[in-house]
Structures are given as C-alpha cells and as structure tokens.
Structure 1
Amino acid sequence: MLNNLKLALTFGLGLAHVTQALPAYAQQETAPGWASNGQALYFQTNEKENAIVSVKIHANGTLSEGIMTYTNGTGASMLSAATNMTASPDGLSSQGAVAVAGHSLFAVNAGDNTVSMFNINPEDPTNITLLGMPASVPGDFPVTVSASELNNLVCVGTSGSTGGVACAPYSPFVGIGKMDFLRSFDLDQEPVPAGPLDTVGQVRFSEDESQLLVTVKGNPAANKTGFLAAFTVGGSCLTGEAKVSAASIESTLNGTVALFGFEQIAQSNRYFVADPAYGVAIVSVDEKTDSSLLLHKQAVPNQMATCWAAISPASNSAFVTDPLVNHIVELSLVDASVISVVNTTSSNDATGYTDLTAAGNFVYALSPGTQENSSAEIAVLSVGEWKNSSIIQSFNLGSMAGSSAQGLAVFPAY
C-alpha cells in the first residue's frame, strides 16, 4: 500500500524537482447544478518577500491580468525529508495557503510565522488592500489558513516544532486581532519542518461554520498514524465571543496514511479527502461527537502523490491533482470511484499541479513550474453536465511567480 508513498518521498512529494449507515440525506446523490463563475483567483508567491497574485476570471472562465500585492510577510519552504534540501516545488506541503471568506482574503507567511489579511474590492476583485500588519501566529511555520465569515474567526495551522492550530477574531474592515493560543499536535519537527509527512495538511471550517477540521499527515516510518481533528466552534459571533474549542477529537481512520487536502460535500456530514499514499477517501464527521469514520477509499490509477482536492458543484464531482503526474482526476462524491482522467502533459511544462479550486463550469489547477525557474501556470479545466472535461487554457504567470507558488482560492468563495 505504501509503494506510491515511498516513491513520493523519493521524489520529495514535489519537494525535490466500511461503509456505515448514513442519514438518507447523506446517501443521496444530487444532480449537477448551475454554479456562477468566479471573478478572481488568488495564490501566493511564497518568495522571501511574499506576495499575492490576483488573476482576473472572464465570463468564459479564462484568465488574464495577473496583479501582485505584497503581504508584508516572509515566505519560506520546508525541507524535504528525503534529501534534507529545501523543498521545491510544494514548499508548504499543504492546501489552503490562501483563503477567501466574504470580501476578505487571508495568506500565511511561513518565513516569519505570521498571517496577512486583505480586503477584496467587489467591483474589481483583483484589487486587494492589505489590512493592518500581519498577525503573529503562536507556532512555527504556518502553512494553511481558513476563515469563518459567520463567526469572524480566522484559524491557522502550523507544521514546525510548535505545530498545531491557533485562531483569532478579525474585522473585515480593520484586520486580524490577537491570536489566542496554540492547540498543539504531536509533530516531531524542527522550527523549519522536514516534510511532507508528519505535518499539517489543511485547516477548514465546516459548511455551517460550527466545526473546524484539520488533517494531520502520519509517518509510517516513525510508527505515527495520521488523523482528522475536529474542534467545536462555540459562543456568540454577535457579542464577539465566538471561539474554537481548546481540545479536539482526533480520529485515526484505518487504511489512511497521510490525509491531506479536503472539502465538504454540500448538505452532508461527509468530506472528500486526498491521501498521497493511495488516492482519495470519503469520511463522515459526526456533528455532535466530532468523531470521524472512513466510508469509502479509492486508489487513483497511476498516481504518485494525490494531495489536493476540490469539489465542483457544476459537475457534482470531485477533482484531485498530483505534483508528480500530469493528470487531473475526476471522482464520484458517492463512492469515490474514478469518473475520468484528463492527461495534461501537452499543456503543462512541469510535472503536475500543487493546488486546485472550482468555480462555475471550471476547475483551476496551479502548476508552480519546475526547478529551472520556469514560470507558474494555472490550467483551466472545463467541466459540468454534458461536457467532456478538457483543458481550455494554461495561463502563464511570467515573471510574477515560479516554483515556490502555493495555494489557490477563488472569489467569490462558494
């Protein structure tokens, strides 16, 4: 089972060049639906002087007009455990290095342990304005961020020697308040971690924003099992007292190894999760007990490291990417079975993709380029009912971003 994971480690995972009875509503497959197109995409350069690149989305889904806005923070890359050298590409080994909530954009700065916040201009979403100074995070090497617009909370996951999750209130007009405290995970790491294993994969608020979920990758060589942590969000957002619980329920899911990027399946308690050891899984999270169960597990053919996941409402299916294989794979939200595979070799000069997101009838996948300082690119995949998935554009970012580029988020967030 671990052959692919070992292979991913050899290449640095992009760091070196059960079924249980469910409520009826959770078992039903909904029909593909209409979804409005996005207006802008965002990712971070993750260079020493970190910056956000904002890219315009046109009515036909294609991209243009990249704009850089500095975070006033410092980017950084972790080490590859396989080579003990700086990881490139995929220097953060996470999903959610940038996140959108309402008219707010957030980005982690791994090099100085901070998180930046921007206001998005709804009239021109590529125009973003930094709010205040980056907020200090009580942990080493922040890699992933999520925000709750309902509760005005932002939470950051860190993967270094003091690894875990910390949260803070935010104002969409002023910026981020003081971070509370680190909810620690048992990560055997240095301040600059050696990944990709034994690090945080992603933090994400649930659809109703009553839970904060975190994937933490295991490390079989150290006899450490990965897990999904669920924290309860309580208190009142109206009085400014909404808080994330101090303790979580950590569920180890037999058969999984390195739970990574994930997204909630709409109107259910199920989540679609990538795992580079084999492919993907669908898990349920009990909204009362915060415990998780593995429902379906699916190997992805010809994969080396399936790490990032996104759900398209238009096609009612999930899509995953791999930094070492030039394909984008579509899978069922019912049982995680493979629906289609799009070979992207002809449209991508690099070896694969390191994040993705969906909006309208399109899926967008970030390729940070190769180690030869080639430019980052974003592939535009046309999807949806009665459509054959195909690449309609590979948008080159030129000098704005290269092999350190990380994260991908869309405005408006869906």
Structure 2
Amino acid sequence: MMKLFTTASLAALSCGSALVSGLPLQGRSTVHLRTRTSSSSSHGAAYFMTNEPTGNFVIAADIGSDGTLNLNRAVATHGLGSHGVSNPLGPDPLFAQGSVKASASGKLLAVVNPGSNTITAFSINPNDPSDITMIGEPVSSEGEFPMSLVASDSGDMVCVLNGGAVNGVNCFSVDEQKGLVSMPNTLRSLGLNQTTPPSGPPGTTSHIVFNEAGTQLIASVKGIPPTPGFLAVWDIESDGSLSPNFTAIEPQPTGALPFSMTIIPGQDALLVTDPGVGFDIFDFSAQPDTNGTAGGKSSAVPIDGQSATCWSSFSNQTGNFYLTDVGTGIVTEVNVDSNLKGTIVQQYPQGNGTSTIDNDVATVNNNDFLYVLAAGTTSVHVLSLPAPGQAQLIQTLDFSGPIQAAGLTITADNVQGMTAFVKA
C-alpha cells in the first residue's frame, strides 16, 4: 500500500532552522579560513557550498592522512544560491544530491548556482586539492534552478539537472580555458509543472547520474503522493547527444519519492533512496521494450522509524552503502547482495538536530571515510569505515565559526553538497 503523507511527515522532509544571517564578504574571490600548512599534509579535499542568495561560495577542507578534515578556504562561484519553497523552510534547500561534484580524472570541480541559473567550473590543483581555480566564467544551465550535476569518468563531460519552471537536463564538454561548453542535442525537457524556485520537496527533481556503462543519463523525480515519482532515462549516443525523449521507470507501489541514486557495482542497477519508504533498488537488466529502450524493475526496502532518508554513497572498502536521514540524523549502512536483495547492516545516530544531508566516501591510504554534511549543526561529521558494520565517528568539524570569523555568511538552511577529491 502506498504510504500516505501527513502534513507533519511532509514537513519532516525539510526540517531545520536558520542559524546565521547577513551579507557575504564583498570583493574577494578567495577567503582563507585557517593558517595554511604545507600542501604535503593534504591527501585530498572535501567540498560543499554555502548556497547563499547574496553570493555562493565553495568551502574546501583538506583531508589529512587519517581522513580527518581541516578547513582551508572559501572560493566564490560568482553565482547566487537559492532555497526551494517548502513549509516550513529547512535544510536541504535544493531538495537534491549532487550540487557540488568533483572529477578525479578531470581534476575538475563543478558547482551549481541555483539563484542565477548558472554552473561554475574549477580546476583542482592535484598537489594541493583545496586550491581550486575558476575556469572561464559561470555558464548558463539553459534552464532554471540547476540543482544536481554529474561528471563522466573521464572528466570531459558534465551534465546538469534543472528543477525550476524550465526543467530538464543539459550537458557540457570541458575546455581547459573556456570551462564548460554546451553540447549540441543534449538539452532535454522533463516537462514538469514546477515553479522557480521549485515547490516541494514532493514533486521536485532530485539527482542526476550516468549508469555504470556510461551509456545512459538518469534523472530522479519525486512524486506527489499518491502519484509515484520516476526515473527518467535518456540513451547517450556515440557523439554524446541524448535520445530525444526519456523513458520513465516508476518504483514499486510502496515507493513514492525517488531521491539519490548510487550505482550498485557490476549489476546494472541503482540503489535509490526514497523518503516515502527507505530505499528502492532499480534493476535495469530487464528486457528492452519494443522500442529497444532498456526496461527496468524495482523493489522497495523499508527503514523502520525513518523520517527522510534522501542521500547515499558507496564504500569500496566495506562493499556497503551509507544513507543519511535529515529528520532523524541517522546514518544507515545497507548491503545489496548479488541477487539485488537489500538489507540493513547497522545504523549510526549522529544526534538530534544534526540534520544529516549530503554525504560522500573517499579512500585515503587504503582506508575509506564517510563525510556527512550535518546542516543543523553547521558541521561535517567524519566516519571511518574499517569494515562492514563498524563505522566510527572520528571527527565533528564545525565550519560556522571560522566562516563567520572570515566575514562570510553561513546559514544552516542554505548549505548543500558534499564531494571529495583524493590525490592519485
């Protein structure tokens, strides 16, 4: 039976409160947040964004040899942030995963500016990954309210998901001097009846990914219960263009709000978080339809007591997935076996009011670490992942104090994104 949402349960999808307000520091593109140490002490960097309507900044933190973070700098995107329309307003302002995306192969960082309908690209200094330099100028997303990005494995193609009144996808090639260059025949509409900023979280776009083979571009769209959401799938042609129309794949009836999508390695399948139930598993290995477009089927797995499980990432070290819930502040570890059966391995409460949203996994010195943006407490939680079922919180990094001390605006309800880059 479809899970019905009360006013209270829908509100839980966007809980949180603003902590700080004010204007950002003007006239400076880079602001140092601490005394610099030797770049040799940094094994990589973790990035998220302030998403302030008065000016968006990328926050870069050095990753140490033990996986812990040290704030380094804030870098202007030369674009504006925005917050979707929800009641009440709360964390997860874009109702999305993937607003900030790093490509290790391309040494590239891409960031959305939902308030100015642009995307900013940065080159990453591989020897000092917190040192990022804007490439060219911010480019139009060719839609409204860009909120999620994906980069190809080679780092030479970036696609964006627009979630406003002009919604859909668009793709760009990467030029070392010009930055992002719009690719022909990749601007595709979803045809959603939305506003700018979008109203949600139900009924909004969520996330964009490539399938494991790199032959399809997939976007997730939440439903408005009792109408289910769906995954929109475009085929990628040999010249990089997208099929003119998408194929819509719906979750099982118990699912309603497909949110983040994480590849299940080697399975032609996705783990898809769903705050309507817990998570779904979409299997794309089903037989193609009469038009030759790949089919798909799904199964739903409930997470008892969950409020809004929306973000996910995968650890090669443990072979498991890590899902975060903005309402409960719990990280849930999930295993998916070779038969695509999903089970809950362990849960890790991060504390009431933490509002755990975006997350990413990085491998440092052959050890995996999970970086979780805890919007409610303006901090990043770092968990070591030594083995299945054994995640441990090793650091809680406050970023509000240092950012405010540098003269920048930081608001709990506005922060978004989490992506990591590790030195080769």
> What TM bracket, shorter-length normalisation?
0.7 to 0.9
Q: Which amino acid aligns with 1:397?
A: F
| Letter aligned with residue 357 of structure 1 | D
TM alignment of 1:61-76, pairs within 5 A: 61-76=67-82
SS at match of 2:77: strand
2:369 to 352, 362, 372: 362
Cα pair 2:371 2:381 within 8 Å, conserved:
yes
Contact 1:146 1:205 in 2 (8 A): yes
What code does the residue aligned with 2:416 have? Q
Task: Summarize deviations over 1:11-62 as a string: whole Å, max 9, x none.
Answer: 3523667xxxxxxxxxxxxxxxxxxx97211111101210111111111111
Moved over 6 A (4+): none
Q: Tell me the CA shift for residue 178 of structure 1.
A: 2.8
Q: Are 1:196 and 2:196 counterparts?
A: no
Q: Secondary structure at the match of 1:46?
A: coil
Which residue of the partner structure matches residue 177 of structure 1?
181
Q: 2:135 aligns with which of 109, 128, 131?
A: 131
> What one-letter code is carried by the residue in structure 1 that aligns with 2:348?
V
Cα gap change, 1:242/1:412 in structure 2, threshold over 3 Å: closer, same or farther? farther
SS at match of 2:137: coil
Letter in 2 for 1:402: T
Tell me which amino acid in the other structure corresponds to 2:212: E
Q: 1:307 aligns with which of 301, 306, 310?
A: 310
Alpha carbons of 1:54 and 1:206: their partners in 2 closer, same or farther (altered >3 Å)?
Answer: same
What is the deviation of 1:246? Answer: 2.5
CA distance in 2, matches of 1:172, 1:204: 23
1:406 aligns with 2:416: yes
Counterparts of 2:251 and 2:13 in 1: how far apart (Å)? 24
Aligned to 1:89: 91
Q: Secondary structure at the match of 1:10?
A: helix
Given that 2:49 and 2:100 are in contact with CA atoms closer than 8 Å, whether structure 1 keeps it comes out as: yes
Counterpart for residue 24 of structure 2? none
Q: Which amino acid in the other structure matches residue 156 of structure 1?
A: V
Aligned length: 375
Q: Map residues 230-309 of structure 1 onto 2, 5 A cutoff.
A: 230-235=233-238, 241-255=239-253, 256-286=255-285, 289-294=293-298, 296-309=299-312
Q: Is the 8 A contact 1:4 1:278 kept in 2?
A: no
What stretches of structure 2 of length at least 5 have no aligned partner?
19-41, 404-409
**SS of equivalent residue, structure 2 residue 346:** strand
Task: Within 5 Å, give how 1:214-229 maps onto structure 2.
Answer: 214-220=219-225, 224-229=227-232
Q: Distance in 2 between matches of 1:195 and 1:38?
A: 38
Q: Which TM-score applies when normalising by structure 2? A: 0.83
Q: Which 10-residue stretch deviates more, 223-232 or 120-129? A: 223-232
Cα separation, partners in 2 of 1:409 and 1:151, compared to 1, 3 Å: closer
Partner residue in 1 for 2:383:
381
Equivalent pair of 1:271/1:282 in contact (CA under 8 Å): yes
- Name the CA shift for 1:190/1:179 in 2 (closer, same or farther; >3 Å): farther
| Residue 196 of structure 1: how far off its partner (Å) | 0.4
Q: Which residue is 2:151 aligned to?
A: 147
- The runs of 5 or more residues in structure 1 that have no matched partner are 18-36, 236-240, 371-375
Give the secondary structure class of the aligned counterpart of 2:10: helix
Write the letter of the residue equivalent to 1:45: T
Q: Is the 8 A contact 1:7 1:304 kept in 2?
A: no
- CA distance in structure 2 between the aligned counterparts of 1:127 and 1:410, rounded to whole angstroms: 13
How far apart in 1 are the matches of 2:419 and 2:267? 22
Cα 1:186/1:292, change in 2 over 3 Å: same
C-alpha distance in 2 between matches for 1:136 and 1:382: 38
SS of residue paired to 2:9 = helix
Which residues in structure 2 correspond to 1:19-58 (within 5 Å)? 39-48=44-53, 49-58=55-64
Q: CA deviation at 1:8?
A: 3.4
Cα distance in 1 for partners of 2:388, 2:236 equals 40
Counterpart residue identity of residue 248, structure 1: F
Q: In the TM superposition, what is the alpha-carbon distance from 1:398 to its structure 2 partner?
A: 2.6
For residue 212 of structure 1, the aligned residue among 192, 208, 217 is 217
Q: 8 Å contact 1:5–1:304 — kept in the other structure?
A: no
Counterpart-to-counterpart distance in 2, 1:332 and 1:12: 24
SS of the aligned residue for 2:14 comes to: coil
Are residues 15 and 218 of structure 1, via their aligned partners in 2, closer, same or farther at CA, if it must alter by over 3 Å?
Answer: farther
Moved more, 335-344 or 204-213: 204-213
Measure how far apart 1:209 and its partner are.
1.9
